Copies of this chain bind each other. A is one copy, B any other.
Amino acid sequence: MDHVTGLERFSLNSATTKHWPLPELVAGCVEAGVGLVGLWRENLDALGPDRTAALVRDAGLRVTSLCRGGFFTSPDWFDDNRRAIDEAATLGAPELVLVSGGLPPGSRDLDGAREQIAAAIGTLVPHALAAGVRLAIEPLHPMFASDRCAVSTLGQALDLAERYPVAAVGVVVDTYHVWWDPDVWRQIARAGERIACFQLADWITPLPAGVLLGRGLPGEGCVELGRFAAAVDAAGYTGPVEVEVFHEAVWNRPGREVLADAVRGYRAALGASVH
């Protein structure tokens, strides 16, 4: 990586440029001096895990994380998560991001869903350790608690992770999901080497219907992104900073432009904070 660009830790999460085909995304990153990418399992659909891994590797890029495992409250969670771990290993992604799942259809048993998630993670730990892939529990914003992820705070994610070795289970700090939490600074300090991935997205309003696609590029919203970057650094985190933004309007723009804006926003927000 080129130290002049200051992009040593910048990683483009492919969900930010959802409609950019992977070969073009890889070329675009190389051209922009970006050496790190976060991938989603749907990125493997076209070429399969092995050829996708080769495509990325041959361009000199590294995969920082694979999204996603999880959805532990669905019936087929076990086989699907074993496959996800294997795919992460094939890609050389050290972290598999877990979106743990919400309430099963018709259920009101939030505690039960949380227990189910805890049990499922425990079940996967041996396989993750054997594959050399860390399970990275991502707390999602509480507005997703019923339908996507019953793990709603960093504190909860750490309570789950700390039952297992650091090499087996970590947590994701995504600014979009945790920025509101008055306890988040204490939890980031507590997290230390459990921090498996640090993701940047900004909070903007009004939220769109369904609320999934309402994220802003870094700098567009109201989150103290630099403060978060400084906090994870202070906790000892030296890993990638993934920009991960889901927004219809962002997706409809050319990937190259979005990447340039993501880099610009990253630099503006974190320039003074990331070392």
Interface of A toward B, CB cutoff 8 Å? 103, 107-110, 114, 141-143, 145-147, 152-153, 155-156, 179-182, 203, 205-211, 221-224
Contact partner of A207 (CB less than 8 A), chosen from B152, B155, B209, B223, is: B209
Report the Cα distance A210→B211, complex, angstroms. 9
Are B210 and A182 touching (Cβ within 8 A)?
Answer: no
Offer 14 A-B interface pairs, CB within 8 angstroms, sorted by A: A107-B222, A108-B223, A110-B180, A110-B222, A110-B224, A142-B142, A142-B143, A145-B179, A146-B180, A147-B206, A153-B182, A155-B182, A207-B211, A208-B209
Other 17 A-B pairs with CB < 8 A, given A110-B180, A146-B203, A155-B182: A103-B222, A114-B182, A141-B143, A143-B143, A143-B211, A145-B179, A146-B205, A146-B221, A146-B222, A147-B205, A147-B206, A152-B180, A153-B182, A206-B209, A206-B210, A207-B211, A211-B211
Q: How far is the CB of A88 from chain B (nearest CB, A)?
A: 28
Instruction: Write the chain B residue with the least CB distance to A182.
Output: B156
- Chain B residue numbers with a CB within 8 Å of A109 are 224
Report the Cα distance A89→B169, complex, angstroms. 55
Report the Cα distance A146→B142, complex, angstroms. 14
A-B pairs, top 6 by smallest CB distance, nearest first, are: A145-B180, A142-B180, A143-B143, A209-B209, A206-B210, A108-B222
Report the Cα distance A153→B221, complex, angstroms. 22
- Chain B residue numbers with a CB within 8 Å of A181 are 142, 152
Contact partner of A179 (CB less than 8 A), chosen from B107, B110, B223, is: B110
Instruction: Write the chain B residue with the least CB distance to A177.
Output: B142
Instruction: Write the chain B residue with the least CB distance to A185.
Output: B111
Are B182 and A152 touching (Cβ within 8 A)?
Answer: yes
Report the Cα distance A223→B103, complex, angstroms. 11
